[in-house]
Structure 1
Amino acid sequence: MGRLQGKVALITGAARGIGRAQAVRFAQEGADVIALDICGAVDTVRTPPSTPADLDETARLVSEAGGRIVTEIVDVRDTEAVQAATDRGVDDLGGLDIVCATAGITSRESAVDMSEIAWQTMLDVNLTGVFRTCRATAPHLVERGGGSMILISSIAGLRGLVGVAHYTSAKHGVVGLMRALANELAPHNIRVNSVHPTNVDTPMIQNDSVRAAFRPDLDHVSREEFAEAACSMNMLPIPWIDPVDVANACLFLASDEARYITAVTLPVDAGSTQR
């Protein structure tokens, strides 16, 4: 315990899923948290959106774990809002040491049939939103004398996937951004890495749209039928991982245990990128 004692972490997409797991896991290890989330729908996305109640639950869980937390409803596509929320959070909690750019969306459509808005929205959130988060937070890490940036990519950032060309392109872009930032920020003792999960048991995959893509032969796909099909993606015999599995990898990268690790792509993928 106490691996992040005295640290402050900013996390986007913190209302649920991986972002919530990061917030809670970091608080358990002594960190305070700036938690940002859109808490609303995004055009082109069929996944049920997070809500203000979800963000409130993250705040409750972080407080229960012993951490201080400030929350704000912010869209990572809004440059001024991201900067303002970052600055307010840093003022409230006294600094910034860790950044987790976790907010993301998904949707499915073949590349040749994809609408311009579906393509652009995906890049605006999953790539440019990460850039905006890093740009807003980097000066605070520099002021602190160093820190850790963790960009959440995907196995789609390391390999091509069918039906999600926009998602795959954005997640590959996150890797390029990570490598550039790792070089630019290294003189300031700031480490930058990316994490690449396989399917994670969150609302992003547990919905009718994603399940149908795995079992197009069925009119309605149960969780169990989805699990059976999803196992084919991974080397280990599991259909998906849990949010805390990703959070634990991020905890390592955020901690001093990873003090000389930068510019790496860390899969948390049950072997899926090696199949």
Structure 2
Amino acid sequence: MALVGRAAHTRWHWPARVRNIVVCDIAAPVPGLPYPLSTPDDLAGTAELVERTGRRCIAVQADVRSLEQMRSVTERAIAEFDRIDILIANAGIASAAPIAEMDEQLWQDMIDTNLTGIFHSFRAVVPHMIERRWGRVVATSSIVARMGMRNAGHYAASKWGVLGLVKSLSLEVAEYGITVNALLPAGVDTDMIQNPATWRLMVPEKENPTKADWLAIIESGPPNGDLIEPAEVAEAVLLLVSEHGRHFNGEAVTISCGGSANLS
């Protein structure tokens, strides 16, 4: 979760309201995931990147699965900076298993993080925005929410649930000057998908596929069908939270390299 903004490259144009940022992450392992999560050093590095742009940044280690911890992060942000203008709810993990064989804990961990974690972020921050009668909220869903995916039904379900939360909250808070939108990217070039477990999922015909095997499949597809850079997603977020994004509300904005062209 990021409050007020998110780490950015210095060339980005920050919305006028963005002055200070609070970022939080569990920054610790989660059992059952096939890839390493970020560390406290990664969290501190994000804060350093933000501060290079001339903004203050507070990095907090917290777990979105806990409403109490999300409320604590929110309270600290308000105590330090007086207000919260923008919430970026970016909770997400990934794992793989067919539904008929899926372990119950694998299912529960996915829902607790990807869906309940978004709810906790909303629940902790939105009352403050209602009181101030202004706010911008963006939650990360996925193009998989709209199309499903073999061996990732729990992931698709959690991201579809995010859409329901976003659309419902957008109706509840529009009268307070708050917009709420979802961003649905396809594959983003991060550690969450750049790992051997994902390569096996995407290249099932090979016993031990490599990153090169997967990239070869992607590159053989349509133009611009390669992996999305994190900065591209961040640029879309910046539009939604800017003054120019005031007419976006209850939207599901896709970045899918054409993958959503045949979806309703």
Question: What is the TM-score of this pair, normalised by structure 2?
Answer: 0.92
Alignment of 1:207-226 (within 5 A): 207-226=195-214
- Counterpart in the other structure of 2:120: 132
1:254 aligns with 2:241: yes
1:266 aligns with 2:253: yes
- RMSD after superposition: 1.8
- Counterpart in the other structure of 1:23: 7
Residue 274 of structure 1 and its aligned partner are, at CA, apart by 1.9
Q: Decide whether the 8 Å contact of 1:235 with 1:272 is kept in 2.
A: no
CA distance 1:157–1:31, shift in 2 (3 Å): farther
Number of equivalenced pairs? 257
- Counterpart in the other structure of 2:230: 243
1:114 aligns with 2:102: yes
2:185 aligned residue (174, 177, 197):
197
2:153 aligned residue (147, 165, 170):
165
Question: 1:70-90 CA distances to partner (integer Å, 9 max, x unpaired)?
Answer: 111001011111101111112
Residue 69 of structure 1 and its aligned partner are, at CA, apart by 0.7
Q: Decide whether the 8 Å contact of 1:178 with 1:192 is kept in 2.
A: yes
Q: Whole-Å Cα distance in 2 between the matches of residues 212 and 267 of structure 1? A: 26
- Counterpart in the other structure of 2:42: 54
Q: Whole-Å Cα distance in 2 between the matches of residues 164 and 231 of structure 1? A: 23
- Counterpart in the other structure of 2:55: 67
Question: 1:240-265 CA distances to partner (integer Å, 9 max, x unpaired)?
Answer: 10001110000000000011210110
Q: Which amino acid aligns with 2:244?
A: E
CA distance 1:50–1:67, shift in 2 (3 Å): same
Q: Whole-Å Cα distance in 2 between the matches of residues 93 and 143 of structure 1? A: 16
Q: Decide whether the 8 Å contact of 1:196 with 1:268 is kept in 2.
A: yes
Amino-acid identity (%): 34
Q: Whole-Å Cα distance in 1 between the matches of residues 255 and 126 of structure 2? A: 25
Residue 25 of structure 1 and its aligned partner are, at CA, apart by 5.2
Question: 1:27-86 CA distances to partner (integer Å, 9 max, x unpaired)?
Answer: 852532110000011122112111000001101100001111111100101111110111
Which aligned segments of 4 or more residues in structure 1 are displaced greater than 4 angstroms?
Answer: 25-28
Question: What is the TM-score of this pair, normalised by structure 1?
Answer: 0.88
1:94 aligns with 2:78: no
SS in 1 for 2:138: strand
Q: Whole-Å Cα distance in 1 between the matches of residues 243 and 147 of structure 2? A: 30
Q: Which amino acid aligns with 2:76?
A: R
Residue 212 of structure 1 and its aligned partner are, at CA, apart by 1.1
Q: Whole-Å Cα distance in 2 between the matches of residues 83 and 139 of structure 1? A: 11
Question: 1:179-229 CA distances to partner (integer Å, 9 max, x unpaired)?
Answer: 100000111110000000000000000000001111123343332221122
SS in 2 for 1:202: coil
Q: Decide whether the 8 Å contact of 1:228 with 1:239 is kept in 2.
A: no
Q: Decide whether the 8 Å contact of 1:96 with 1:144 is kept in 2.
A: no
